[in-house]
Structure 1
Amino acid sequence: MSSTDLPPPSPRMCDMIAAAAHFTRGMVRPRRPDQRLLASIDDAGLPDGEQTVRVRALPQVSRQVPAMGVVEGAAPYRRLPSAMTSFVVEHPEATFLVDPGYCRDARQRTIAELPPLTRLLVTPPAATMSTLDALAGRPPSRTPDFALPTHAHWDHVCGLLDFPGMPVHLRKSERDWLLGPDRPPVGGVRPTVSDGRPSEIYELDGPPVATFVASHDLFGDRSVLVVDLAGHTPGSVGILARTTNGWVLLAGDAAWHYEQIERLRQKPAFPGEFVDEDREEAFATLHRLHLARHLMRVIPTHDSAASGHICI
């Protein structure tokens, strides 16, 4: 068979080849921070108020992952701690879960739906705890009233499968992306939020906060604000909470590791070009986080060193 008889590569294969080339280039020459963008970002300040909340990371198994797969341009021999962390936020009016990311029997219920290469890269250790089991091990003072995922990827919502009646709060743009006519996110995401589950759809209808362009006051007392971190998905958000020890931002996957925020380094092209819906917007959001880190404690969901055993 001659080379002319071979079938042309599929679009996905072409995308993977391009991403691999970009990954190699990024190892040598990572994307530089945009100094004009940094200079253009205003600090709108943090709201006044007296009400505080408690933020707690649920226990989770951590693993070491190659740094060059998380931070563009990282040295290939380095490794970084990673985990599928869920959080509990306790407010006087309600207790809620942020990023209930892992369900019981996840390998069969969600991970089996992922493409083979993705499964190889993202399958966590066998000892990884479901959000339900982690919550049972360290229960809050009251049963969680609802879940508020930072975005609707499988590893941030599949734990909802173990809480069939729990309401979920979703940003409208995220809900529209998730349930729209296009190919849905993989990993059983749609059933976690749509199969008869009560939902509360919200908009970012509030003013800029700190370096973020829009917000939503969850309880009306300026203690928990949902802020815009779009780019990773169309409706990605962060949960900004006032605690007795200062402001904390649960940043989801706007960054996979705090080192990205500190050094202003985007995700590597592989797998970043397959997981970020809008790479330009994701990079702009990273600039906002870079400036915001002086105003608050920023915690990416998968950075187990940043989340640690946070209880504040």
Structure 2
Amino acid sequence: MIKKTLLAALVVALLALGWTFTPQKLPLPAQAGALLPPVPATTVDISVAETGTMDSNALLAYRGGEIKQLPFGMDCFVIRHPRGIIVFEGGFGRNLAEHMKTVPWLMRTLAKVHAQTPLADQLQAAGITPGQLLGLFITHNHWDHIGAVEDLKGVPVFVNRTEREFIANGGEATALMRSFEPLNYQVYDFDGPAYAGFPASHDVFGDGSVVIVPIAGHTPGSVVAFVRTAQHDYALIGDQAWQHEGVDIPAERPWLSRRMVDEDPETVRANLGKLHQLQAANPRLVIVPSHDRRVTSTLPRFLAVSTTSAEVSTQP
């Protein structure tokens, strides 16, 4: 009798898990998406530095995803402003094999990792020294967004106060970032007005060309960066969605993925509806999930470096 009960419970659990992979469109907010402010007088240039990929399955990226492999890009965004250069995201670094040892076993098992040219080496090839960078900004501090932090020691690392606390107290999720310390942290607050429907903002240059807003959920201090260029507006959304379908449909990650990576899945769910509405209201706006190579490949390349990639062992 006990065996039958356990078997029935197992079947129910597997069916419930399978249901979380089925297509389900999230409800949309009642209000329409907010409009971005007019294009500022000062705009910036943005380009993408590819540092590697993680081959994973669309099935894990959003509910209703196909059973097919996708290259999840580990990309950095180099932003040139008249006052200097900043970078968003750190991608894979030079010591990727060591960094992989901090990754949860299940994630290592489900994915293949390929290294490309680290950001620090691409900057060097472009003649840009670490001292020329005004700062390195991270949408959130998970291992696959911070590799360059170790390689660019001394460069100011800009984090908001909530995310700084998460780094200090986030346990295994932020252990890799803590291992890089001491770092030149520059802690900022969201001391600016509401922006694009978000309650507060931080204007990086003070001219509206790069504006950061809080979007807690994936991590407590996750952010979206709005980057205003002459041709397009870009929203760098980090891991609010892994692929653009998460915003376009909108659809959340399956339960297994949410369980591995999201601190507050309910808030992420609401964020996806909000980003969907924002995209619909602003034709110039390109939503950029950090890991969607189909989107990042439409942006200018930072440097014509070799795209040859080498597989990296995912086992410690």
TM-score relative to the length of structure 1: 0.84
- For the 8 Å contact 1:95–1:144, the answer to whether it is kept is yes
Moved more, 169-178 or 142-151: 142-151
Q: Which residue number corresponds to residue 185 of structure 1?
A: 173
Q: Which residue number corresponds to residue 122 of structure 2?
A: 134
Where 1:251 maps in the other structure, the secondary structure is: strand
Q: Which residue number corresponds to residue 12 of structure 1?
A: none
The CA deviation string for residues 228-286 of structure 1, in whole angstroms up to 9 with x for no partner, is 22210001001101101021111111111111110101011112222000001011111
AA aligned opposite 1:27: F
Q: Which residue number corresponds to residue 165 of structure 2?
A: 176
Q: Percent identity?
A: 28
1:233/1:134 CA distance change after superposition, 3 Å: same
**Equivalent of residue 217 in structure 1, options 203, 223, 238:** 203
Quote the Cα distance in structure 2 between the aligned partners of 1:146 and 1:19: 47
- For the 8 Å contact 2:94–2:147, the answer to whether it is kept is no
Moved more, 198-207 or 130-139: 130-139
- For the 8 Å contact 2:141–2:174, the answer to whether it is kept is no
- For the 8 Å contact 1:56–1:309, the answer to whether it is kept is no
Where 1:159 maps in the other structure, the secondary structure is: helix
1:164/1:61 CA distance change after superposition, 3 Å: closer
AA aligned opposite 1:40: Q
Give, in angstroms, the shift of residue 134 of structure 1.
3.2
Quote the Cα distance in structure 1 between the aligned partners of 2:236 and 2:13: 29
Quote the Cα distance in structure 2 between the aligned partners of 1:88 and 1:251: 15
RMSD, aligned CA = 2.6
Q: Which residue number corresponds to residue 19 of structure 2?
A: 25
Structure number with higher strand proportion: 2
Q: Is 1:238 matched with 2:231?
A: no
Give, in angstroms, the shift of residue 184 of structure 1.
4.1
Q: Which residue number corresponds to residue 66 of structure 1?
A: 57
Q: Is 1:282 matched with 2:268?
A: yes
The CA deviation string for residues 60-82 of structure 1, in whole angstroms up to 9 with x for no partner, is 44565321011112232x33332
AA aligned opposite 2:78: V
Q: Which residue number corresponds to residue 300 of structure 2?
A: 311
Quote the Cα distance in structure 1 between the aligned partners of 2:160 and 2:73: 25
**Equivalent of residue 133 in structure 2, options 134, 139, 144:** 144
- For the 8 Å contact 2:45–2:229, the answer to whether it is kept is yes
- For the 8 Å contact 2:237–2:290, the answer to whether it is kept is yes
**Equivalent of residue 154 in structure 1, options 143, 149, 153:** 143
Number of matched pairs: 289
Quote the Cα distance in structure 1 between the aligned partners of 2:248 and 2:12: 27
Where 2:94 maps in the other structure, the secondary structure is: coil
Which sections of structure 2, spanning at least 5 residues, go unmatched? 4-10, 302-316
- For the 8 Å contact 1:64–1:80, the answer to whether it is kept is yes
TM-score relative to the length of structure 2: 0.83
AA aligned opposite 1:91: H
Which sections of structure 1, spanning at least 5 residues, go unmatched? 5-16
The CA deviation string for residues 207-240 of structure 1, in whole angstroms up to 9 with x for no partner, is 2222333211111111110012221000100110
**Equivalent of residue 96 in structure 2, options 100, 106, 115:** 106
Q: Is 1:270 matched with 2:268?
A: no
The CA deviation string for residues 37-95 of structure 1, in whole angstroms up to 9 with x for no partner, is x113551542552000011101344565321011112232x333321011101111121
Where 1:145 maps in the other structure, the secondary structure is: strand
Quote the Cα distance in structure 2 between the aligned partners of 1:241 and 1:310: 12
Moved more, 131-140 or 285-294: 131-140
Q: Which residue number corresponds to residue 75 of structure 1?
A: 66
Where 2:269 maps in the other structure, the secondary structure is: helix
AA aligned opposite 1:34: P
Q: Which residue number corresponds to residue 45 of structure 2?
A: 54
AA aligned opposite 1:176: E
Quote the Cα distance in structure 2 between the aligned partners of 1:56 and 1:238: 17
- For the 8 Å contact 1:216–1:226, the answer to whether it is kept is yes
Q: Which residue number corresponds to residue 313 of structure 2?
A: none
Moved more, 201-210 or 91-100: 201-210
Where 2:220 maps in the other structure, the secondary structure is: coil
Q: Which residue number corresponds to residue 119 of structure 1?
A: 108
**Equivalent of residue 84 in structure 1, options 74, 77, 99:** 74
